[in-house]
Each structure stands twice: as C-alpha cells, then as structure tokens.
Amino acid sequence: MDMKSADIEKIVRQVLESMGSSSAPAPKAAGGAVPATSRVAMLTEKEHFEIQEYPIPELGDDDVLVKVEGCGVCGTDAHEFKRDPFSLIPVVLGHEGTGEIVKMGKNVKKDSAGKPLAVGDKVVTCMIFKDNPDITMFDLNKQNVGGADVYGLLPDDDKHLNGWFSDYILVRGGSTIFNVSDLDLDSRILIEPCAVLIHAVERAKTTGILRFNSRVVVQGCGPIGLICIAVLRTMGIENLVAVDGEAKRLEFAKMMGASATVNFKDHKGIEALTGAVQDAFGGYLADFAFQCTGSPVAHANIYKFIRNGGGLCELGFFINGGDATINPHFDICSKEITTVGSWVYTLRDYATTFDFLKRAKGIGLPLEKLITHKYPLEQINEALVTNLKMEGLKIAIVNQ
C-alpha cells in the first residue's frame, strides 16, 4: 500500500463529511433549506383546528425563524380550544414549543440570557416585550409573565406564524428566546410547565418555612403536582407526601421522589384524611403544603394537613375555579399559617428551569415519562380531545 499523504487527507475529509451528514444531530447552516411555505394548525372555530399553509415571510433584522420540533399541549390551549375564553379565534395556539433555528436576522447574536445564538441551535421562547423593551437579564426576576404576550396566545395577523402548533414559527425582535441546545427534546417540551413549579417553590421559600428536613405535602398529582415533587426532590427535600385520588398518579408521584402517598378515596371525611396524612409523616402534620389541584374542596382541606406555624403555597387555581369555604379562625389565625399564592413565573425562573431539568436527570427522576401521548401536527384535534378527556399526563405535538 503506498498512499500519499494527500490521498489520506482526502479520505479523512470524506469520512468527516459523511459523519457530519449522517450522525450530526443538528445540521448547522441550513439557511438554504427553508421552504417557501409552512403549515400551521389554525383554530378556526371552537373544537376545530384546520391545517393551513402560509408563505414564510421575509425576516426582519431582529427576527429568528425556528423549525418546530415539538410543543406541549397546555391546559390553557384546552380551554381556548373548548370555549374560546380569550376570544382569540382564529388563532395558532401552542406556547410550550421548541425547535431549531433555521434563519436569523443580521442583528441577532445572543439569546435573552446572553448566550450566543446560531443557526442550528435549539431554542424556546418565553414572552414578548411590547411595553417594556428595555428589560434586561438583570431585571428578569421582577417580571411575572402573567399578562404579557406569549407566542401561541397571539391573535392571528398577516404573518400567521405566531404559535408553536406549526412547522415554523417567526420569533420577532424583542421576544425572549433562550438557547437550550444542551437539553433533549422531551426536556425542552417540559420547560414551560416546569417553570411554573420553579416559581412556586421560590414563592414558598419566601415564607422561611421550607427547609431540607421539612415535612411537605403535595396535594394533586397531575403534571403540576408531579413536577412540584420533582423540584422539591432535586432541592434535597426528602420527606414528601403526595395526595391524590388515583392510584396510577400516586405511583408516578413515587417515581418523582415522593416518600409516601395517600389516596383520598381510601379515607372518608376530612378527619380520616388528615389522620392518613399525619400517619404518612410518622405521626406529624406537614410543615409546608403545596396545593396543586383546581378543586375548591381540596383548597379547604389542605389547611387541616398543616401544623401550627406552617406554610402553604396555593398554585392550583391557574384559572377561576370558584369559591372555597374555609374557617379563618381555625384554618389560618389560630394556627398562624403563612400562605403564598403563585401564578405563572418570572423570566429568571425560566432560566433556572434549564438547570433544574439537568439536575432532575442527574438524580434519575424520569421527567420525560410525564409526556404520555405524542401526536403529529395533523392529528392536533385528537390531541386536544385526549387532553380534555384528562387521559394521560402531558400531551405533546411532535413534528416528523
């Protein structure tokens, strides 16, 4: 064999090129590969998405074009699908989305946390600063996303690519965008709901009651309660009791790090239920409680599980679920309970969530199992129906 060094170089180059095209997860510089049109799932009337196709518009200097890989279905999407409470129809929904940058305006260099951005990077969006364009990473903790404009909840306009239930989304200048290339697709789809819990636990910490050795009860084991348990577990809180009415969800709570579970259907009446929670803590009431259901009765019940001087974080009533009846003397005053409410998240919580997802993986919490159903875009109506039937936990639209 007499191989000249030039030949070897050529072979090495060929091998490297073939590796690049077959095994690279994120092909960079896909600029030329952008199609002329994109499909979107347009909610054209209540309970009906129509797959429509629109031209991909020219990008402004501050805009980013993202090829959508997946998007979680949120309770908010389900409410809008069923009843249009936000009067958004026609609208492209989907705000828990993620995808790959395929094209960028010439001014775009960094994400909202100051990380470099390039074609091929995996990103998520958070909110759009319309009224406050001067906000920086340093004020992120001051801004609660509630009330702000978010992709997937924007009224339709002449660009149409406003939501993540689509093939492409046009992220306009002034939006919050984060480079999350170091997270896998399932983790990226879970960022938004996880940020809700990062915020709730931050709110809980302001009471000064939550400690490493606290006895914590989490009521409600839907995705929010389950993620709550995972966040507490990654913080090093180990004495966690989950309360729910479904055995399957309680099993899941154990996988997420709950040390014990209580099925409220096994205990008739609030005294018996309180006794069961107390037994689960070895004879003690909880130091702190997280209320993660939208049930007024559950809200009224939870005070009974908390010791004198304990704390409560109420985060289950994301939307108005009606009035709850409590006894202010017995439930709050005489027990000196410190309560905090939590709603949505701040931008800093969003950035904190990326690290939480890595830590959860590091200690073996199977967060990705929360995504129980995956549908392609063309089956979005079925995905929403499944969500409304409360089947499974997290439902996601996944492209390809």
Residues that bind Zn ion (CB under 5 A): 74, 96, 192
Nearer to Zn ion, 72 or 311 (CB): 72
Dihedral angle over CA of 252, 253, 259, 261, nearest 10: -100
Tally Cβ neighbours within 10 Å of residue 95: 23
C-beta nearest to Zn ion: residue = 74
Task: Supply the minimum distance, in Å, between the C-beta of residue 357 and Zn ion.
Answer: 16
Task: Supply the minimum distance, in Å, between the C-beta of residue 69 and Zn ion.
Answer: 17
Nearer to Zn ion, 77 or 331 (CB): 77
C-alpha distances (whole Å) from 361 to each of 76, 185, 234, 242, 365 are: 27, 13, 9, 21, 6
Q: State the Cα–Cα distance between residues 78 and 193, nearest whole angstrom.
A: 15
Task: Supply the minimum distance, in Å, between the C-beta of residue 326 and Zn ion.
Answer: 28
Nearer to Zn ion, 192 or 202 (CB): 192
Nearer to Zn ion, 96 or 202 (CB): 96
| CB 250 within 8 Å of CB 264 | no
Task: Supply the minimum distance, in Å, between the C-beta of residue 96 and Zn ion.
Answer: 5
Task: Supply the minimum distance, in Å, between the C-beta of residue 150 and Zn ion.
Answer: 9
Nearer to Zn ion, 129 or 164 (CB): 164
Nearer to Zn ion, 76 or 291 (CB): 76
Task: Supply the minimum distance, in Å, between the C-beta of residue 164 and Zn ion.
Answer: 11
Task: Supply the minimum distance, in Å, between the C-beta of residue 194 and Zn ion.
Answer: 10
Task: Supply the minimum distance, in Å, between the C-beta of residue 73 and Zn ion.
Answer: 9
Nearer to Zn ion, 77 or 314 (CB): 77
Residue 80 CB partners (closer than 8 Å, separation 6+): 43, 86, 88, 91, 93, 153
Nearer to Zn ion, 233 or 394 (CB): 394
